[in-house]
Structure 1
Amino acid sequence: MIYLTCIICLIISFIITPFIKKLAFKIGATDQPNNRKVHQKIMPRLGGLAIYISFIVGILILRPEGSLLLPILLGSLVMVITGILDDIKDLPAKVKLIGQVIAAIIVVTGGIQVEYINLPFDGRLEFGIFSIPLTIIWIVGVTNAINLIDGLDGLAAGVSSIALISVSIMAIIMGNLFVASLGFILLFSTLGFLYYNFHPAKIFMGDTGALFLGYMISVLSLLGFKNVTFISLIVPIIILGVPISDTFFAIIRRFVNKQPISAPDKSHLHHCLLKVGYSHRKTVLVIYGISALFGIVAILLSKTTMWESFLVILVLMLAIEITVEKIGLIGNDYRPIMKIVKGIQNMTMKL
C-alpha cells in the first residue's frame, strides 16, 4: 500500500504544480529579482502548497497509525499558513518566527520531546525542564536551515529529498514504520514538485515549501532518534549537515560583521560555489552530492562502534574545515573559528 500511495503522491504533486503556479500569479505570491538573488525575472513562489496538498492526500490514503499524527499535522498546517502569508505579503522575520514557534509548541505539547540521551560508558543525560525548549529550538533551527538554503533552483527541494531518504532508511533500520511512512510520502510529494523546480525553475517552493519541509524533517528526525545514545543523537545532525553547517557559518559571518542574524547576504554555500566558477546546475548537483555523502555517513555511524564513530566524525570535521577555507564560507575573518574547530578535533583525537 505504501508503494501505491507514494506513486499517487508523486503524480498528484506533478499534476497540480502548474495550477499552483497560475494561482501564485493571481494572488501575488511572486518573487521579485534583486541584487542578492540569482533569478532575473518575476517568479511564482507558492510551490510548497503542491507538496503539502499531495502529502495530505497521501496521509488520507495510507492513514498511518500513531497518536502523534494529529499534532504533527496541526503543526504543519500552522507552518504552511505562515509560509503562504509570507509568500504573498513578505511577513516580518519576527512574525514568521512566531508562527514557527507556535507549530513547534503544538508538536511538543502533543508528546514529541527529546527527554534524555544515553552517554558513553553507561552514562545518561536527563534534559528535564530543558527538554521542551531544546525540542522547540531544534524544530525552529532546522526549519530555518532549510529556508536559508533555498537560494537556487531545486536546491532546497533536492537537499530535503536526500535528507528524507536518509531519515526514512534510518527509520526502517530502527523498525519505526510510522516515521518511514511519513518520510516516503513527503519524499515523493517533493519529487513531483522538483520536476518544475530544477534549473531552469518554472516555480519556487517559497516559504510555504521551505517552512513545511524544514518542519517535517525536524519532527521526523526527532521521532526517529529521540531518547537514544550520544552518537545516535549526532546522526540527524549529520543527515542535515548541509543546511545546518550553512546556517552555522551564516550566523558566524553575521556575528563577525556585527549584523542581525536575519540579515541576508550572498556568502552561503551555493553563493560561494557560484563565485569560484561553478554553473548554476553544477552548484546544485555538487551540494546534492555533499548532502548524499552526509546521509551515507549518518547511516554508517548507526552501524559503527563508539570509537569508530569518533573517527568518522573527526574525518568529517576535517573535510568541513578544508571546504570552509577553500571557498571562503565564513569570509576573511574565519581564522578564529577555525582555531575552535581544530581544538575540537584535537580533543576528539585524544579520546
Structure 2
Amino acid sequence: MIIPLVFLLLTTVSFLLVRWLIFWLQRSQIFDVPNDRSSHSVPTPRGGGLAIVVLTLLVVLVYAFINKNWLQCSVFIMMGGIVAWLGWQDDVHSLSPKIRFLVQIIIAILTIIFFDYFHFLTIPLIGEVKVGWVGIPLTIFWIVGLTNAYNFMDGMDGFAGGQALLIAAGWIWISSNGGALPNQLAFWIGIAIAASTLGFLPHNWSPASIFMGDVGSTFLGYSFAVLPLLSLPDGGVPVLVGVVLLWAIILDTGVTFARRALKHENVLAAHRSHLYQRWLIGGVKSVHVNLIYYGFVLLAVILLWGWFQKLTIFPALIVIGLPLLWIGLLLLTGKWEHGHKD
C-alpha cells in the first residue's frame, strides 16, 4: 500500500512544483525563444525538469537514510546533481558544448570509480562477451553518450517526458522484488522518475506551458545510463535492458550523428535531422509522433518480457528485428520525403 501512496504523493508534488516553476521562470525571464529549428512559436519557460531532479534526488536521499546505502546513494546524488546543475547553467547561460562534454566525461570517470564499469555484455543469440579493460572507455561512452542522446531528443512537447515515464516504468517492473533483476535502489529511482514525469507531463503536453530544459533531459539521460550499473555493476543483463528500453533514442541519435558526420556537418551544432523531427517537418502531427515513440518503448518492454521468459524467437527480434525496423522506417521516410519534394 505504501508504494502507490508514495507514487501519488510524488506525482501531486511534481504537478504543483512545475506549476510554481512556470510562474518563477516567467518572472526570471528564463525562456526558450523560438527559432527556425523550433517546434514552438512563442517564448516558453524552460527548466521544468528541475521538479524531476529535485524529487528524484530527494527520494534517493530518503532511501539512503532508511537503508544505510550511503555510498551508492551519495554518488548518485552528487554526480546526478552536477549533471543537472550543468544542464541548468546551459538553460540559463548557453554553455559551450566543449565545456559540457569535458565535465560530463569527468563525471562519467568518477561514476565508474565508485560504481565499477561493464566487465562483460550479454548479447542475445551470442551470450556473455567479456570486454575486459575495454569496458572502461565503453562505460564512459555509455554514460556521456546517453546523457547527451536524451538531451538531443528533447525537442517536442511531451516527447522526452512521456518516454521517460515509460522507460522508468520498465525499470520499476524489472527491478521490483518479483522482477528479473531485483534491486531496491533502482526500483525507487524508477518510481521517482515515473511519478515526477507524470506530474510534469500535463504542463508539457501540446501546447506546452513549460519545457523540461537541459536540466531535466541530461539528468534523465544520466540516470538511465547509471541504472544498469546499480542493478549489476559489472555489466551483463542490465546493460542489455538499458539498451533495449532506449533502443529508439539510441538508434535515432546514433544514425543521425553518423549521417551528419559523413556529410562533414558540425555534429555538435543544433539541427532538425532526427527521425522524429523529419516526421514533424513532413506534416505528421506531434501527438502521432509521440504515440509512435511511446510505442517503441512498449515494444521494448514486450521484447524484454519474451527474452526473460526464454521464448525462442525473442533474442532474434531484439538483435535483428529492432535494427531492421529502424532501417525500414528510415527508408520509408526518405521515400516519403522525396515524394513530397516532387
TM-score normalized by structure 1? 0.86
The answer to whether 1:198 aligns with 2:189 is no
Structure 1 residue 324, shift from structure 2 partner: 1.1
Structure 1 residue 62, shift from structure 2 partner: 4.3
Q: Do the aligned partners of 1:254 and 1:261 also contact (CA within 8 Å) in 2?
A: yes
Q: Do the aligned partners of 1:272 and 1:328 also contact (CA within 8 Å) in 2?
A: no
Calculate percent identity across the aligned residue pairs.
29
1:260 to 266, 269, 273: 266
- 1:199-348, aligned counterparts within 5 Å? 199-224=206-231, 226-227=233-234, 229=236, 233-304=239-310, 308-328=314-334
Structure 1 residue 315, shift from structure 2 partner: 2.4
Structure 1 residue 299, shift from structure 2 partner: 2.9
- 2:72 corresponds in structure 1 to 68
The one-letter code sitting in structure 2 at the alignment partner of 1:218 is A
- Give CA-to-partner distance per residue, 1:112-164, whole Å, 9 cap, x none: 42122467899864433333222111011111111111110010111111111
My pick for the range that moved more, 55-64 or 37-46, is: 55-64
- 1:168 corresponds in structure 2 to 172
The one-letter code sitting in structure 2 at the alignment partner of 1:309 is P
The one-letter code sitting in structure 1 at the alignment partner of 2:39 is V
Distance change >3 Å, CA 265–CA 118, structure 1 → 2: closer
Q: Do the aligned partners of 1:75 and 1:102 also contact (CA within 8 Å) in 2?
A: no
Number of residue pairs the alignment of both structures matches: 331
The one-letter code sitting in structure 2 at the alignment partner of 1:222 is L
- Give CA-to-partner distance per residue, 1:216-252, whole Å, 9 cap, x none: 11111332355455x7643321110121011011112
Q: 3-state DSSP class of the match of 1:68?
A: helix
Distance change >3 Å, CA 179–CA 84, structure 1 → 2: same
Distance change >3 Å, CA 306–CA 47, structure 1 → 2: same
Structure 1 residue 96, shift from structure 2 partner: 1.4
My pick for the range that moved more, 19-28 or 197-206, is: 19-28
Structure 1 residue 56, shift from structure 2 partner: 2.9
Structure 1 residue 204, shift from structure 2 partner: 0.3
My pick for the range that moved more, 97-106 or 257-266, is: 97-106
CA-atom RMSD in angstroms: 2.6
My pick for the range that moved more, 114-123 or 314-323, is: 114-123
The answer to whether 1:111 aligns with 2:115 is yes
Structure 1 residue 307, shift from structure 2 partner: 6.5
Unaligned 5+ segments in structure 2 are none
TM-score normalized by structure 2? 0.88
Unaligned 5+ segments in structure 1 are 333-351
- 1:26 corresponds in structure 2 to 27
